Structure formats: C-alpha cells, structure tokens
Amino acid sequence: MGAISDESLIDALRRQMTIAAARELAAASNLANVNTPGYKTRDVAFDQALDQKLQGVQPASTDAKHLGGAGREAAAATAAVDNLPERRDGNNVQIDRELLSMTRAASDFAAAQTVLAAKFRLVRYAINEGR
C-alpha cells in the first residue's frame, strides 16, 4: 500500500472544505426562503454533480434569487429534499434542521482547515530548520 502524498492530502482537504461551504450555502438559502410559499428545501447532492461532470454535461443554472447569485457549481450540486412535512403554504423548510446542517458544515470546514494549517506548519518548520 502506497503512502499518501502531500498533493492528494491537500486535494482531499480542499474538496472537504468545498463540500462544507456548499452545505452551508444550501442551508443559508433554505433559511432565507423559510417564508417563501411553495419553496422546497434543497440539500447538497454531489453524487448528481459528479455524474454530470463525468458525463461532460454542463450543470443547469438555478434561480439566482434562491441562491443569492451563487456560482453554478454550487447551484448544480443541490437537489430538493423529499419526505419533509409541508406547511399549508407548500413550504417545507425546517429551521432546526437547517441550523443543525449549518453547524455540522461549519464543524467539517473547521476540521479540514485545522489539518491543512497543521500541514503547512510542518512544511514551514522543515524549511526553517534547513537554514
């Protein structure tokens, strides 16, 4: 079994931070639309985005009002969440669920950021000890 390279480690941390940021964006969008009649909760669906990317399909754009003009990559990686109870106005956003999602995403981002900072500290240490 081969060792994990610095490049693959940094790439994995970058992906983790990107996913966490997209999850926070989706939760923030849901919270912003908590009072929008008919709005359906959206969540990150990277499996669909990956399939589109692998097949060479350009991601469909989304309604800029709902994501605050976010980039197409983050918009394409969201999908409606099924099986959530709806209110009488057709909206199914649950504030507690979205706040929990934002907290988890922030925690994932912070963990990846901590590991990345530690990796760079090791590199800085190695460079400074070489003098």
Can you tell me the distance from the alpha carbon of 89 to that of 117, in angstroms, rounded to the nearest whole number? 46
Residue 1 lies in a domain: no
pLDDT in tens, 108-126: 999 999 999 998 898 888 8
Beta bridge partners of 78: 44
Residue 25 lies in a domain: yes
**58 in a domain, yes or no?**
yes
Contact 44, 112 (CB under 8 A): no
Q: What does pLDDT average to over the chain? A: 82
- Can you list the pairs that 69-77 forms with residues at least 24 positions away whose Cβ atoms lie under 8 Å? 70/25, 70/29, 73/49, 74/21, 74/22, 74/25, 74/26, 76/48, 76/49, 76/52, 77/22, 77/44, 77/45, 77/46, 77/48, 77/49
Q: What is the mean pLDDT of each run of 10 residues along the chain (131 residues)?
A: 79 90 94 95 78 60 43 60 93 96 95 93 85 66
88 inside domain: yes
pLDDT for residue 45: 81
Domain that holds residue 109: 6-129
Query: How many domains are there within the chain?
Result: 1
Helix (H, G, I), strand (E, B) or coil at 78: strand
